Amino acid sequence: MRVRVTTTALGLVAATALGLYACSTDTSEPKPTAPSSARTGTPAGADTATATPLSSAALATRLLGEQDLGSGYTPKPENSSSQHADVTVLGCPALNDLGGDAVTGGSLDFPHRAKAAFVYADSSNSEITEELYSDTAAKLSTGTDRIFDAMVSCPSYQVLAGSTLIDIQVQKIPAPRLGDEQWSQLLTYSTDGQRTVVKQTAVRTGTLLVIVSGSPALVDTHITSAVRTALGR
């Protein structure tokens, strides 16, 4: 059954990863990963120094910049048309249930947000996107948990974006032990004989949520500095 989602029900991943798909292909096999929960937590007493939600303007100053990524990376303009495009989800009731309540315009539905995307000048498969959100710790935890749980509840499904049918596979993977809560997953997008692997890792520390998406190697390289920079360190 086809359910039309007017605000991209894949807001956490599709708005980012579908954009990555347009300029990135990866034909290598992802390395096997031991089964793991997509969400993990740190022991009591973890860093919760950020107690008050930050404004969108303040979040924008805490995004990684070109100087953090290294030479050769340039900002990628945001594609507003892809954010607001209608998307049809096939074969994943949990994502259909999210509807417009979970996401708006390709971003998570938290009141304060900032986003940056970068591409490597000499490569078509090196792109990284960072999203920062701020809200109460409870709302960030519940909202992020809900969407990641919906994603990993469907190991495989399809998305119809315009006239393009995309096969998607989702795999839970271990998340780095950062912040108060962590989520991580590996997504494989296939269409027209092309294949793209995208990793997404989210880390919540207090009232801050950091999400880094892109090729697995880039996410692994920059997630720690993204969290540190978001915390103003």
What digits encode the pLDDT tens for the residues 24-44? 444 343 333 333 334 555 433
Q: In terms of DSSP H, where are the helices of 62-191?
A: 66-69, 80-83, 93-102, 137-152
Q: What is the DSSP letter of 47?
A: -
Tokens of 94: 């949990």
> In this predicted structure, what is the pLDDT of residue 85?
54
Could you give the CA distance from residue 10 to residue 31 in angstroms, rounded to a whole number? 24
Strand partners, 187: 170, 198
Q: What are phi and psi of 72, to 5 degrees?
A: 100, -15
Cα(20)–Cα(34) distance, integer angstroms: 26
Instruction: Check residue 20 and give left, alpha or beta (phi > 0: left; psi -120 to 50: alpha).
Output: alpha
Residue 139 sits in a domain whose CATH number is: 3.40.1000.70
pLDDT at residue 113, as a whole number: 93
For position 53, what pLDDT does the model report? 92
In angstroms, rounded to a whole number, what is the distance separating the alpha carbons of residues 105 and 127? 21
Residue 171, token pair as written in the block: 């795999």
Number of domains in the chain: 1
Tell me: the pLDDT tens digits for 48-88?
A: 445 789 999 999 999 999 988 888 888 887 655 445 456 77
Angle value at C-alpha 75, between 31 and 13, nearest 5 degrees:
45
Q: Chunked in runs of 10, what are the mean pLDDT values of the chain (233 residues)?
A: 37 48 42 39 42 92 92 76 64 75 51 90 76 95 89 89 87 95 94 89 96 92 96 87
Looking at residue 46, what is its pLDDT?
Answer: 38
* pLDDT value for 10: 42
Residue 74 CB coordination number (10 Å): 10
DSSP 176: P
The token duo for 233 is 């360190």
Query: Which residue range is the domain that position 26 belongs to?
Result: 2-230
pLDDT value, residue 90? 87
Q: Write the burial class of residue 146 (CB in 10 Å: 0-12 exposed, 13-18 middle, 19+ buried).
A: middle
